[in-house]
A and B are shown apart, each in its own frame.
Chain A
Amino acid sequence: MDKIKNILMVGVGGQGIITASDILSEAALLDGHDVKKSEIHGMSQRGGSVFAHIRYGKKVYSPTIKTGEADVLLSLELIETVRWLSYANEKTKVILSETKIQPQTVKEYPESVIDSLKKKFKDFYLVNPIEINKQNGSHKVLNTTLLGVLSNLLEISDKSWEKAMENLVPKGTYESNLSAFSLGKKLFS
């Protein structure tokens, strides 16, 4: 595979983007790819906007994705999807967890975000977090389910996904993460 895969994960501090992006990066690495990942730390974690760029392929140079070149945009928060749209194009596949996080300082959350997004993208995977949490029996593994959805769009082997989770999820939660992952995998396959 010569073409580099570009995945952008976005959300709000505290939503677990870093761990999710670590799992994807590790899985790509285990599958034999060169991998680079860039993330944000520090101040922005205090309720700020958070992103992780993951790029893998034969030889990756830049740790950041270029404008308009994300293959997949995985978003954990509605308005964050909009914030990072400049990295997407019409062919970008969007996975969106329908979560809204409204800062104290914001009076009104913009309306009809989902509709406007749906019009723009052909491949649009909308996940209802309440439904998924019910099915998972926990809200702690939502991101793993989203990774399961993501796995349908990438050519990373199940073995590598599983090994990456084993290496990176907290001890004793591997089983629950594994089933959350399979749930996501089945969701849109």
Chain B
Amino acid sequence: MGIIKLETKDKKRKVTNNRMTNKNLLSGNEAIARGAYEAGVKVGVGYPGTPSTEILENFTKYEDVVTEWSVNEKVAMEVGLGSALAGKRTLVTMKHVGLNVAADPLFTASYIGANAGMVVVVADDPDLHSSQNEQDSRHYARAAKVPMLEPSDSQEAKEFVRYACELSEGFDTPIFLRSVTRISHSKTVVAFEPKLNYEHDKGFEKENIKKHVMIPAFARQRHFVVEDRMKALEEFSNRIEINRIEKGKGEIAFVTAGLCYNYVKEVFPEADIFKIGMVYPLPMRNLLEFCKGYEKVYVVEELDPFIEDQLKARGANNIVGKEILPVTGEYSPELIYTAITGNKFKGMEVGIKPFARPPMLCPGCPHAQTFNAMNKLGLTVSGDIGCYTLGTLPPYSAMHACVDMGASIPFAQGIELAQGSEFKHDVVAVIGDSTFAHSGITGLINAAYNKRRILVIVLDNSTTAMTGMQPNPFNGSTITGEETVVIDYQKLAEAIGIKKDNFRTVTAYKEEIISETIQELLAKKELCLMVVTGPCLIYKRKKEKNNG
């Protein structure tokens, strides 16, 4: 099988150092898109989410590729798997919380494998620049038994996509490429290479049901294959150039990966470093051997002690990591330096305390009137993920819960269930158009089916505003701007059993009408759907600019 082939190929593989011959400044996300293009990736799918969004947006610009914004990450993962099994190199993109949505197919994709390369890019967000949690996606690699690469700058981000395709094919597995916000949104120098014309010899094999149909009898067999593959991958991990030792003066030693590698180099340029490019499975034999050579080895990794725990579990007892480094937030060169040496960096101050600038709805945002109305009515508002999440903060102060995409509708149902006959009919669920398509519809179906009595308000601003104006199934265009169907709210409501009279559409600009409609619908004490329409201001301006 492919492993042998890869081994010889990999011996020759060097991480490019000739950055000065052909230089371009690319963000990590642009570099991943470029890498996919150069690797002959044909299909790109994903769901927008900061910091991952620009990967697919940039990939779409290359010729001879097909792309889509899928309705959610689970769908993207499934489309991607189909595409890879049909013989085309495939890129699937999402942010860390999106990977939770895609986790179901992910765990089985690992059993099924891939024909042509299937690269799943997941972008984590340490310090929660724009996310609801700070989870560490590396755990998914381990849990789903899917290998994971992690680049430390844009050049590596580009190269690792190609390498990931080769590994995916060689080991017949989907593979992760992990980024973090500060890789995705930092620009560093990248050398371009020509596009590879990749053709996989196999298309989708209809006969191969033992590999593609995961009924228990077949899946049981596949699990052995997966375990063998992971063993082979760990062995392989010990022999590849992207997991390497950089010898310094031998006075201080580090194990690190991704962005943190550059931080360590910045403050300890003469350290001995084991730089990990494949964060799962780890090159354990080499790592343990490396660690033996020192009295103390610092493991530097953002978020969880993923590498550290595995090293400790395998007997490395001279590891220092989270005892001195935080599990929350982003790292920085000085944070690492201070943790290790105790010396602080000093900056200036003038004794003036700058006021905070919390993010806010843009002045004139279409969501404003609805939030004002809900605030004045004193409603309990179950909220969702999008610009309108900012309705939580003053001056609106009109949202009281927000868990994940699509959660607003079921959350409100939970309140109703808990309160039973005490339910006061002052609970509304708000959700945006893109989020409604992502995972709100299933919640609404649940409400209709179970005869719940809540009011659901869709705030339709004609776009996915928070992540930068991506189209979605409610506004009539695809990722490339092509015209497409628009889901009809009214027909949808009817189809799932919401009474005709319990459905309303109102414009976003008349607070009075919004307020009256809310009261009228709440008084019905039945499941109601209300759509508030008004395009996002920024989106409107952008559109006018493009047309004019």
Contact = CB atoms under 8 A, between A and B. Distances in A.
Contacts of B348: 68, 85-86, 88-90, 92, 120
A60 to B, nearest CB: 8
Contact of A39 (B186, B188, B263, B387): B186
B385 to A, nearest CB: 11
A11 B185 CA distance: 18
Contacts of B262: 61-63
A35 B26 CA distance: 10
A85 B182 contact: no
Contact of A46 (B362, B395, B467): B362
B548 interface: no
Interface residues of B, number: 48
A116 B352 CA distance: 9
B50 interface: yes
B541 to A, nearest CB: 12
Given A41-B50, A82-B352, A64 B387 contact: no
A133 interface: no
A86 B334 CA distance: 12
Interface stretch (B82-90, B353-361, B419-427): B353-361
A26 B439 CA distance: 41
A163 B195 CA distance: 27
A46 B390 contact: yes
21 contacts: A25-B25, A25-B187, A37-B186, A41-B50, A43-B50, A44-B129, A47-B360, A61-B333, A63-B259, A64-B332, A67-B346, A79-B354, A79-B355, A86-B347, A86-B348, A88-B348, A92-B348, A104-B360, A105-B358, A110-B355, A120-B348
A166 interface: no
Contact of A48 (B19, B153, B357): B357
B210 interface: no
Nearest to A39: B185
B350 interface: yes
B182 A64 contact: yes
B481 interface: no
B351 interface: yes
A106 B357 CA distance: 9
Given A38-B182, A41-B185, A46-B362, 6 more contacts: A40-B185, A61-B265, A66-B266, A79-B352, A87-B347, A120-B348
A46 B393 CA distance: 13
A165 to B, nearest CB: 15
B180 to A, nearest CB: 11
A10 B259 CA distance: 23
Nearest to A87: B347
A34 B352 CA distance: 36
A104 B262 CA distance: 40
A46 B182 contact: no
Nearest to A41: B185
Interface residues of A, number: 52
A4 B206 CA distance: 58
Interface string B494-505: 000000000000
Contacts of B358: 48, 103, 105
Contacts of B258: none
Q: Which residue among A29, A44, A67, A117 has the maximum number of chain B CB atoms within 10 Å of its CB?
A: A67
Given A34-B189, A68-B346, A40 B333 contact: no
A46 to B, nearest CB: 4
Closest 7 CB pairs of A and B: A86-B347, A42-B130, A67-B345, A62-B266, A63-B186, A42-B50, A61-B266
A82 B353 CA distance: 8
B189 A46 contact: no
Contact of B352 (A22, A32, A103, A113): A113
Nearest to A104: B395
B293 interface: no
B366 interface: no
Interface in A21-58: 22, 25-26, 29, 32, 34-49
B216 interface: no
Given A35-B187, A42-B129, A62 B263 contact: yes
A11 B267 CA distance: 28
B349 interface: yes
Nearest to A25: B25
Contacts of A104: 360, 395
B61 interface: no
A64 B361 CA distance: 29
A42 B262 CA distance: 24
A103 B357 contact: yes
A85 B349 contact: yes
A68 B347 contact: yes
B247 interface: no
A29 B130 contact: no
A80 to B, nearest CB: 7
A38 B185 contact: yes
A12 interface: yes
Contacts of B20: 32
A117 B357 contact: no
A110 B395 contact: no
Given A66-B334, A82-B350, A40 B129 contact: yes
B315 interface: no
Contacts of A82: 350, 352, 354
B313 to A, nearest CB: 30
Contact of B345 (A68, A116, A117): A68
A41 B129 contact: yes
Q: Which residue among B130, B266, B348, B350 has the maximum number of chain A CB atoms within 10 Å of its CB?
A: B348
A44 B359 contact: yes
Contacts of A162: none
A83 interface: yes
A41 B467 CA distance: 9
A69 interface: yes
Nearest to A67: B345
Contacts of B130: 41-44
A85 B350 contact: yes
Contacts of B353: 110
Contacts of A80: 354
A109 to B, nearest CB: 8
A29 B352 CA distance: 36
